[in-house]
Structure 1
Amino acid sequence: MRRRIVLTTLLAALVAIGLFGIPLAVAVAQYYVTAERAELERAADAYALDVSADILRHRAPDRMPATEDPTFVAVYTPAGAQLAGAGPQTLDNADDAVRTGGVVVADTDDELVVVVPISDDGTVVALVRAATARTEVYQHTLLTWLAMAGLAVVALLSAYAVARRQARRLARPLEQLSATARDLGDGDFTIRAGRAGIPEIDSVGESLDSTAVRLDDLLARERAFSADASHQLRTPLAGLQLQLEAALENPDADLREVILAGIGTTGRLDRTVTDLLALARDTPPVRDAAAVGEELAGLEQEWAPVLAGRGLVLRVEPVVAEARLSGPVLRQIMTVLLDNAVRHGAGTVTITVRDAGGALAVDVGDEGDGVESGTDVFSRRSPGAHGTGIGLALARRLAEAEGGRLRLGRLRPAVFTLLLPLEQ
């Protein structure tokens, strides 16, 4: 690219120099010829004035013209015979000068020639010839052409220097953009394009940066979805597996009830996947509005047997205030909190709904050991003895998407509080 810019600039400069220089060179050559003829005419007029008195008295001029080499001046009769001066013995263009009665240009291959008549009452009585070698004009023209050629070379060198500088200025940011795009294609989404100060190139860089941010966000969402889905689906899938295994081990089991229970579980799994996909894609939540009391009643029926199987008791206090929000979102948040109680809690798991002054507070607490001081339970962590933190982080994101908040209200025993806007 740099070479192409330099060559294009030099070609443009060369064309401009040619379009301007060639006509100027021709004009310079014509100027020197015209100027030399004017000088010859002045020399001939001066000599004619000097010898006119002798010519009118019919005497041969005895004074030579005061001219500088290589200008030659001579005086001739109307018939073309030389009377005095330096020049050919006969004047070939005498008849033309006598006939026109004015200045005659009579150039030859080697000389520039001007013939000026000397008249007496309208009659040409003598002719003055002034001539100079063409080499004199050629020398002046050549020197000027050489100077013009030198200026053209200087102009081309200047254009070359400017073109190289501009080529570097234009090519460097484009090369950086190419490297940035290559790194982006290799999976480095933290790369950012520099700014070149050229609006068009900077616009491309900004678009590339935006693409990197979007791709990074997209991959982060995909990773989050994979982790969230794995966490949220683990318990329902385990429950479904237990139901099916229990049905296989019990020959007298009511298969219809087992199938209906399995269908209900798969329905909840489908809703879970749908909710997680909406969150991962950052799409507006589907406002399948439901009353908090109704949702908690359904959760009590679903989770009471699960907690009972782990030696826990689920108690849902009467709802004293209502708020309406996305039913799937509330189910996901409460599922996370109840699953957390199953894993880390003890005793009775209590769900309490209260008016928190402008908001509806849903408290989920148990009688376990609680949370150690200084632990950030809402941050994602590497898998370990105390879990990954995926579920609580997901629950907080879901709550914030609904305009609410999820916080740890008490450490020991642990109480999580979900704050929701009151129904208007």
Structure 2
Amino acid sequence: MRRRLLSSTLVVAVIAVLLLGVPLGIVVGRLIVDEAAQELRAEATRLVGEVEYARIQETPLDPKQLEQKYPDRYIQIFERGNPPKATIVGTPPPSGEQMTEDAESDSGIFVRVSRDRAQIEQDVYARLLLIVALAVAALAVAVGLAIVQSRRLTLPLLDLAGIAERLGSGDARPSKHRYGIPELDQVAEVLDRSATRISDLLTREREFATDASHQLRTPLTGLTMRLEEIVAASEHPEVVREEGEAAIVQAERLTAVIDELLAAARRQRHAQAEPVALDEVLIQQVTEWQPVFRGVGRTLVLAGTRDLKALATTGGFGQVIATLLENSLRHGGGTVTVTTSCGDKYVVIEVSDEGAGIPDDLAPKIFERSVSGGGGTGLGLTLARALAAADGGRLELVRRRPAKFAIFLRPADDNGRRVVSGPA
């Protein structure tokens, strides 16, 4: 491309120089010749006047004075009279080629002034040589500008090609290079946006595997505990049946969680949000987690307004509650209370405990990825907030000590509320 730019620019410059330089050379040559002829004509006319004045004053002409006054001229003066007079000043041109101009007065004075044509041709050649030098300089400037312009165009194109190649190889870092050329800057901006989108896609793909493993861990833990209960209670058929049914529910929840994760990966959760009876999900979660809390000597309580409905997904909302309960089990203390209430704009589900709470330095970044205060993965609260946001709600830390988290969901139905308190 650079070679084509140079060659095309050079061709355009040569054509421009020829179109301007050749006519200019012809015009300059003619102007020099015409100027020399006009000068000779003026000198001949002036000499006629001087000879007339000398005749009137009856003073003879001085050839030496005329030769000094008109150097490099061959002058012939003829005067009518009796006898006629002729005066010659200077010598004929040595080349034999001369330019001549005549002048004559009414009194019979005839003057012819000549000069060497070779001098005029030398002057023309000097001017033409100057024009050629200027043309060569113009071509050199054009070539220099073409080189600069070609570098300005080709180097950004090579850079953009390298950026596109990096994108193809998986390096999705935006370059943020700009070149001062609107068209190339637009291409670079498009590539940067594409790099950002590709980077987001790759990040989501990598995070999906991590999130899936973390999200599946809680249902698998519950399923394991139920199976352990089955094994421990094998001597009591009724207990075995109850625990087996609970294990089946856990397996169904595991399947639902997998579906939720896949939907989240495809960013389809907003379209799946629908009115959900919160009591069903909360009672299910409390029932599943109560044995674990009893095993460590703690109590899990469900309180607040009953029969509430909110826009959410059953699996996503259940996973958020499970994450908050697990977080209270591992990092909190005392009784854990799940409280539901309804305001004008939101249905609020609060999960609180009686533990030491969250340190001040950790509270502002508690929802950040890979941030954990107790040696965990640092993914639970991050994923829980993402799941709540995907359902059109939000998860917030409303109190640090003791810790209290609140889920805000959009209400779906305000009918049939009743307030209860106590263990579920």
For the aligned pair, the TM-score class normalised by the smaller chain equals: 0.5 to 0.7
Deviation per residue, 1:123-179 (Å, 9 max, x gap):
xx9997665443122111011122223333444454455556555655665565556
Aligned residue number for residue 81 of structure 2? none
Matches of 1:238 and 1:321, distance apart in 2: 29
2:348 match = 361
Q: Deviations over 1:360-397 (max 9, x none)?
A: 33123457x56553445433327996321212111122
Distance 2:398 2:192 in 1: 38
Is 2:281–2:318's contact at 8 Å kept on the other side of the alignment? no
Q: How big is each residue's C-alpha offset from its partner over 1:167-197, in whole Å with a ceiling of 9 and x where there is no partner?
A: 5655665565556556655655455424444
Q: Distance in 2 between matches of 1:3 and 1:372?
A: 68
- Percent identity, aligned pairs only, is 33
Q: 1:228 aligns with which of 203, 211, 219?
A: 211
RMSD of equivalent CA atoms = 5.2
Alignment of 1:58-69 (within 5 A): 68=70
Give 1:327's match in structure 2, choosing from 313, 330, 334. 313
CA contact (8 A) 1:287 1:325 kept: no
Q: Give the SS at the match of 2:271.
A: coil
d(CA) in 2 for partners of 1:244 and 1:127? 141
Q: Give the letter aligned to residue 379 of structure 2.
A: I
Question: Does the CA contact (< 8 Å) of 1:321 and 1:354 recur in 2?
Answer: no
Does residue 407 of structure 2 align to residue 407 of structure 1? no
Secondary structure at 2:305 match in 1: coil
- Write the distance in 2 (CA, Å) between the matches of 1:356 and 1:27: 95
Offset of 1:287 from its aligned partner?
4.9
> Which residue type is aligned with residue 406 of structure 1?
E
Matched, 1:388 2:377: yes
Deviation at 1:208, TM superposition (A): 3.2
1:25, distance to aligned residue in structure 2 (A): 0.5
CA distance in 2, matches of 1:384, 1:415: 15
1:232 Cα deviation after fit: 1.3
**Secondary structure at 2:20 match in 1:** helix
TM-score (norm: length of structure 2): 0.65
Contact 1:75/1:127 (CA < 8 Å) preserved in 2?
yes
Unaligned runs of 5+ in 1: 53-61, 77-82, 88-107
Any idea what the Cα deviations from partners look like across 1:97-145, whole Å, max 9, x if unmatched? xxxxxxxxxxx9944456789999xxxx999766544312211101112
For structure 2, the 5+ residue unaligned runs are 53-60, 79-84, 90-94, 415-424
How far, CA to CA, are the matches of 1:151 and 1:285 in structure 2? 73
Structure-2 residue corresponding to 1:21: 21
> What is the aligned residue count?
380
Match of 2:121 in 1: 138
Instruction: Work out the CA distance in 2 between the residues paired with 1:112 and 1:132.
Output: 5
Whole-Å Cα distance in 1 between the matches of residues 383 and 307 of structure 2?
25
> 2 CA distance for matches of 1:69 and 1:7?
52
Deviation at 1:359, TM superposition (A): 3.9
State the one-letter code of the partner of 1:373. Answer: P
Q: Distance in 2 between matches of 1:224 and 1:35?
A: 88
Give distance in 2, aligned partners of 1:149 and 1:298. 93
Distance 1:145 1:410, change over 3 A: closer
TM-score between the two structures when normalised by the length of structure 1: 0.65
8 Å CA contact 2:278, 2:309 repeated in 1: no
